[in-house]
Structure 1
Amino acid sequence: MAFDLNSLTFDANGLIPAIAQDHVSGEVLMMAWMNAKAVEQTLATGRVTYWSRSRQAFWIKGETSGHVQKLVDFRVDCDRDCLLLRVEQEGPACHTNRRSCFYTAVRDQDEVELMTPMT
């Protein structure tokens, strides 16, 4: 069965959350938003493309930083309202220069940073 972009459930702003996960380790790297055109472009090129809500523009991951995400596997959740992008990540995924955006844990009511920026 061919993938039907119209089967995805986008929010009122035309966006769908996309979780990027390292395809080898399974580590969750980041979450960002995609619109229909970003989904199409990602599937067509294999370079992960997001929609930047702050800039109101497409954001091809790594275009300026060099921290490219190459699409390995594209998955849709059961409700068709969230995407899982299994990627090959070059360099850090987070704009803070950390491997993952999920570097802060809450333990015993305290915040703990689990990783430092990459050099």
Structure 2
Amino acid sequence: MAISALNIGASGVTAGLTALSNSANSIANASTQGFAPAQATFRETTPAGSGVSISLQGQQLAAGNAPSGTDLATEITDSMVYKAQTQASLSVIKTSDATLGSLLDIKA
């Protein structure tokens, strides 16, 4: 069970960092004309409860002189959510590691 929790935590960290990177890219390109930010979508992996995956859905490029489609308020808020998600996933890994260590100490 502890190994499974490590995998779940790791998938959460990977998904959170991918989403955070995507959001940072959108913020960095907010003033780029015609930039269309990608949308991050999280999904539970199969079997249920075994982790999370992420996909990024890009959009068609806008006309060259069109304003950026980036909403800074949304991107900054999403960045804070992704940071908290990543920290929570790291806590899962830390707790799982401590539990596994205690279990090994008991068996030794």
Which structure has greater strand proportion? 1
Larger radius of gyration: 2
Q: Normalising by structure 1, what TM-score?
A: 0.24
Normalising to structure 2: TM-score of the pair?
0.25
Q: Relative to total residues, which structure has the larger helix share, 1 or 2?
A: 2
Q: Which has the higher contact order (CA 8 A, sep 6+)?
A: 2
